[in-house]
Amino acid sequence: MKVILGIDPGSTFTGFGVVNSDGDSILHVSHGVIAPPAKLSFHDRLAIIAGELETLVSRIQPDEIVIERIFLGKNADSAFKLGHVRGVAVSTAIRAGADVVEYAARAVKKGITGNGASTKDQVQIVLFAALGLRNHQARLDASDALALAFYHARNLQVAGRMPGVEL
């Protein structure tokens, strides 16, 4: 059984999603957000995110941590802040001894819905149906993180059925 933690980094809301995968099935464990108070400085929010991620990783002991690959948007300041949060997540994963995997958001969307341009809402609907989470909603940051973990677990299933295929 592999424990896979997905992280959708953000300085306001950092989403997390956890699945267990045994190669045949993928089971939802939990999902949520780390939301430091907006009134705090960016550095103080980073410290809270780091502490919460360390607590989460210590509690669930993931085998693999999947982090959304950075993309360059229109706002350079936002991209730099996202990079800082990603750095905190990668550092936490490495210190915990977990393997780090990265995927682009577009690849995850395509892998889950069949369309790389799907909206976050569309991804959440398909993802929750696949995991058997009926009539359930979550912050999109949390479902994005859960999508990362689920997508990676599915990739591991495919690779396990096809010897010689590497992710």
Active-site option among 8, 52, 64, 144: 8
DSSP state of 8: E
Residue 88 near residue 82 (C-beta atoms within 8 A): no
Specify whether 68 is catalytic: yes
Q: Tell me the three-class secondary structure of 73-102, residue by residue.
A: CCCHHHHHHHHHHHHHHHHHHHHHCCEEEE
Q: In the numeric block, which tokens belong to residue 34?
A: 């780390």
Active-site option among 63, 141, 144, 166: 141
Whole-number CA gyration radius for the chain = 15
Active-site option among 52, 64, 68, 144: 68
Catalytically annotated residues: 8, 68, 141
